[in-house]
Amino acid sequence: MIHQLRIYEIFEANKDAFHARFRDHAARIMKRHGFNIIAMWEAQTEARTEFVYLLLWPDEQIKTSAWAAFMADQEWEDIKKATRDRGSLVGRIEDRVLAPTDYSPVFA
């Protein structure tokens, strides 16, 4: 099992629209493609507002295949087009695969 950490810069002016799109559409479509979202957070730094979520994958190959399927999903493409009138909903995206240390507590 591997964990994937995703951090999205989101904009205060469009924060509600971002959360609505992720909550009502992205999370549902991701689930259809085998995504296992463990938790979601919002974080605030001095520089920006962030949406952070943690995914659990059986292995790297499944992660890669699921992301490719999600990004090619026609419904997701249509939703992104339909919400573009609100301006940019996401700025910088950070993506990390987390490798546990040999002394890490077990976390699923």
Please spell the DSSP secondary structure of 23-81, one letter per residue. IIIIHHHHHHTT--EEEEEEEE-SS-EEEEEEEEES-HHHHHHHHHHHHH-HHHHHHHH
Question: What confidence score (pLDDT) does residue 19 get?
Answer: 96
For 8-41, what is each residue's pLDDT tens digit? 999 999 999 999 999 999 999 999 999 999 999 9
Q: What is the pTM of this model?
A: 0.91
pLDDT of residue 15: 94
